[in-house]
A and B are shown apart, each in its own frame.
Chain A
Amino acid sequence: MSDFPHYRNFDNISEAVLGFVHWAREEGMPISIQESKDALKAAAYGCLDTQSSFRYALKALFCTGPDDRALFDQLFEHFWGREKMRIKSRTTMKNASNIRKESPASLVWMGSGQEGEEREEEARKTSGANQQERLRKTDFGKLTQMESEELEEIATKLWQQMSLRLKRKMRSSPKGDKIDLRNTLRANISRGGEMIELRKRRKKPRKQKLLILLDVSGSMDTYSFYLLRFICALRTHFESIEAFIFSTKLIRITDYLNSSNLEATLWLLSRQADNWSSGTKIGACLLDFNERYAREIMHGPVSVIILSDGLETGDTNVLEAELKKIKLRTRQLIWLNPLKGMQGYQPIQKGMSAVLPDLDVFQSAHNLDSLLQLENLLLHV
């Protein structure tokens, strides 16, 4: 709780307006100098006559989106209100969900923990021509600490190559050339306007959009780290990529993928989630997605990748219905399931079998090779 400025502390109205601007800026509203000048002009135009018109005038000037409006109303009431009040500190105004404690599960997820001779033994048994080949085929869940470092190196290299290849193929692919009349005319002026040399215009390739939903629940623990790295690698190719993680709650992580330092990103992510490694409510999370984000994200050509083992603990009917909704609005719906890499795996868990008919692609994602196979799918996105 802290004191806050009030219009009575100022000598005249102009100063009070500027005082308000100053304070609002401190509280996080981005108000430019031009806007504060405009506010003074608005006062001069007679918008001061009633409190409500003054409020609406400042609101139109200072707010830039629906999120600002609540904050503005609060600030306005305090500053221009009759009584001097006390205001709660800033953190409570913002969404408290931003701040969460680090959960112990994140340790497991970060790749340490869960080491055992048994796992090591299993990893060795995997056959392969050489160490690299072997690692590429090793299940992420069965790597030792040493191997995982090595694998990371290989993975970084391969993913870089992959995204480069994807880029190259994209560039040369678009066909359907159109004659560019403007440039043709220009180029042929020296020939008296006879159209000898045709200039063409390539149709602009439609922007690729990719939506990734990554399951980070307990059963996915050993995989989530690599899958997240994979998402980061894809980011370098797809300009507009949207990424979410989910287990019992859905969290948007698109902005965190932007930072170049992956370690920092991972750390941030582990702090974000209080529910890593608890049960999975895929259906509820997809419902949340459809309600909150679908309108914003799901227009134009979108491909969706869901990375999950499909071990649903919630209602499978919800899962099926919500996935159908997503399916309706996508070009390609891909489900990657690490469990599919296991020998003898059948998609018979109730979650997985419910959604299977809706999927365009159902593949494994348990080792590096299986992720690299995605390249072919994404090419035709």
Chain B
Amino acid sequence: MIHLNLDAVSSPDRIISSFEQKGYLADEELATALFLSIRLEKPLLMEGHPGVGKTESANILAQVLDTPLIRLQCYEGLDVHAAVYEWNYQKQLLSIKMEEREPRSKRELENHIFGEDFLLARPLLKSISREKSPVLLIDEIDRADEEFEAFLLELLSAYQISIPELGTIKAKSKPIVILTSNRTRELSDALRRRCLYIWNDFPDFTKEVRIIQKHLPELEEKMLGQMVHCIQALRARKLAKTPGISESVDWASAMLALGCKKLDQQLAEKTLGCLLKSSEDLNLVRGTVLEEILSDISSGNHE
């Protein structure tokens, strides 16, 4: 077992600074939760609106710790075979054929072809069979079925996986586990209890400005301010899909690519597709709503 170098995450403050070096602005709440998750060896459950940087923070954590990130994207119908392990059937069949010449007993053969050589590790099994602890990201757990959630419990509390043919496989090194959820479904209490919890919110004005600056330092400050005000005003409205941080970064890069210096109605309408991803929202915002927001910004009412 190779120990991780935990210098970069030795305190919440260190986490903030090492994340910033990698271009991610973590606030103290997130840093504290990550710090505790690592020290207490407990999984961290992150909830929040889509596009607030939940997945990205796991990415950055892996970079900071200099360890691989193993990602499991959840979806409806995700089962053990796709998430944990699967037997290599082709190899098993081949092996049975090869054994035909030197007959073994039934039991021997069974032990042979259901041995570790024939096991294909999927993300969850991979994550506990490494020498060096990886970061395991279980993304959008709310999309998986409840049965799968129950299956995760064993992994998350005891860091082991049971395979009927092989017995229990214990973790060589404990992975650092991060789960994300968009709250499309309520997660079970059993799962919540095993995790630390954090709610990621949309950033406030200053933080969002800093985030975009981090990504696009060449963007003009005045323009940036106007755009972020516009985004924040849009978020305050009732939309089918509220734009996240990745959307605002997209929008900013679009402006940069177009070489625009000032945000006006025409320009905003043309590029609105970067922010709003549903026709209802587009129809709602285009025209008067956008006009209102922009006139608010130019008259300085937003302060």
- The CA-CA distance from A361 to B120 in the complex, in Å, is 48
Residues of B within 8 A of A128 (CB): none
- The CA-CA distance from A65 to B92 in the complex, in Å, is 46
Residues of A within 8 A of B93 (CB): 185, 193
Check A42–B76 contact: CB distance below 8 A. Answer: no
Residues of B within 8 A of A193 (CB): 93, 96-97, 99-100, 109
Contact with B along A29-67 (1 / 0, CB 8 A): 010100000100110011100001100110111011110
Give min CB distance, A210 to chain B, whole Å.
Answer: 16
Verify if A137 is at the interface (C-beta below 8 Å from B): no
Residues of A within 8 A of B183 (CB): 66, 295-296
Residues of B within 8 A of A32 (CB): 193
Verify if A189 is at the interface (C-beta below 8 Å from B): yes
> Which secondary structure dominates chain A's binding surface?
helix
Residues of A within 8 A of B (CB): 30, 32, 38, 41-42, 45-47, 52-53, 56-57, 59-61, 63-66, 69, 181-182, 185-186, 189-190, 192-193, 204, 207, 291, 295-296, 299-300
Check A59–B29 contact: CB distance below 8 A. Answer: yes
**CB-based nearest A residue for B143:** A299
**CB-based nearest B residue for A62:** B197
Of the A-B pairs whose beta carbons lie under 8 Å apart in the complex, a sample of 20, sorted by A's number, is A38-B42, A41-B40, A42-B40, A45-B39, A46-B11, A47-B32, A53-B32, A56-B12, A59-B198, A60-B29, A60-B36, A60-B37, A65-B197, A66-B47, A69-B199, A181-B89, A185-B113, A193-B93, A193-B100, A296-B186
Residues of A within 8 A of B189 (CB): 30, 64
- The CA-CA distance from A256 to B185 in the complex, in Å, is 19
Give min CB distance, A354 to chain B, whole Å.
Answer: 19
Contact with A along B84-97 (1 / 0, CB 8 A): 00010100110011
Check B238–A291 contact: CB distance below 8 A. Answer: yes
**CB-based nearest B residue for A37:** B40
Contact of B199 among A46, A66, A182, A192 (CB under 8 A): A66
Residues of A within 8 A of B12 (CB): 47, 53, 56
Give min CB distance, A216 to chain B, whole Å.
Answer: 25
For B11, B32, B183, which residue has the most chain A Cβ atoms within 10 angstroms?
Answer: B32
Residues of B within 8 A of A (CB): 11-12, 28-29, 32-33, 35-37, 39-40, 42, 44, 47, 76-77, 87, 89, 92-93, 96-97, 99-100, 106, 109-110, 113, 145, 183-186, 189, 192-193, 196-199, 238
- The CA-CA distance from A32 to B189 in the complex, in Å, is 12
Check B76–A300 contact: CB distance below 8 A. Answer: yes
Residues of B within 8 A of A181 (CB): 87, 89
Residues of B within 8 A of A299 (CB): 76, 184-185
Give min CB distance, B230 to chain A, whole Å.
Answer: 23
Check B44–A60 contact: CB distance below 8 A. Answer: yes
**CB-based nearest B residue for A185:** B92
Give min CB distance, B298 to chain A, whole Å.
Answer: 31
Residues of A within 8 A of B197 (CB): 59-60, 63-65
Check A60–B28 contact: CB distance below 8 A. Answer: no
Residues of B within 8 A of A189 (CB): 96, 106, 109-110, 113
**CB-based nearest B residue for A193:** B96
Residues of B within 8 A of A59 (CB): 29, 33, 197-198
Check B47–A60 contact: CB distance below 8 A. Answer: no
Residues of A within 8 A of B47 (CB): 65-66
Give min CB distance, A251 to chain B, whole Å.
Answer: 18
- The CA-CA distance from A32 to B96 in the complex, in Å, is 51
Contact of B184 among A182, A186, A296 (CB under 8 A): A296
**CB-based nearest A residue for B164:** A182
**CB-based nearest B residue for A194:** B96
Residues of B within 8 A of A57 (CB): 32-33, 36
Contact of A56 among B29, B44, B109, B238 (CB under 8 A): B29
Check B33–A192 contact: CB distance below 8 A. Answer: no
- The CA-CA distance from A27 to B280 in the complex, in Å, is 43
Give min CB distance, A200 to chain B, whole Å.
Answer: 15
**CB-based nearest A residue for B87:** A182
Give min CB distance, A154 to chain B, whole Å.
Answer: 36
Residues of B within 8 A of A69 (CB): 199
Give min CB distance, A265 to chain B, whole Å.
Answer: 21
**CB-based nearest B residue for A35:** B193
Residues of B within 8 A of A42 (CB): 36, 39-40
Give min CB distance, A98 to chain B, whole Å.
Answer: 19
Contact of B192 among A45, A46, A64, A291 (CB under 8 A): A64
Contacts A63-B197, A296-B183 aside, 20 further interface pairs with beta carbons under 8 A come to A30-B193, A38-B36, A42-B36, A45-B35, A45-B36, A47-B32, A47-B35, A57-B33, A59-B29, A59-B33, A59-B198, A60-B198, A66-B47, A185-B89, A185-B92, A189-B109, A190-B106, A192-B96, A207-B145, A299-B185
**CB-based nearest B residue for A69:** B199
- The CA-CA distance from A65 to B113 in the complex, in Å, is 45
For A56, A63, A185, A300, which residue has the most chain B Cβ atoms within 10 angstroms?
Answer: A56
Give min CB distance, A269 to chain B, whole Å.
Answer: 22
For B40, B42, B76, B183, which residue has the most chain A Cβ atoms within 10 angstroms?
Answer: B40
Give min CB distance, A220 to chain B, whole Å.
Answer: 29
Residues of A within 8 A of B87 (CB): 181-182, 185
Give min CB distance, B191 to chain A, whole Å.
Answer: 9
Closest 8 CB pairs of A and B: A193-B96, A56-B32, A60-B33, A64-B192, A60-B196, A56-B29, A181-B89, A63-B197
Residues of A within 8 A of B44 (CB): 60
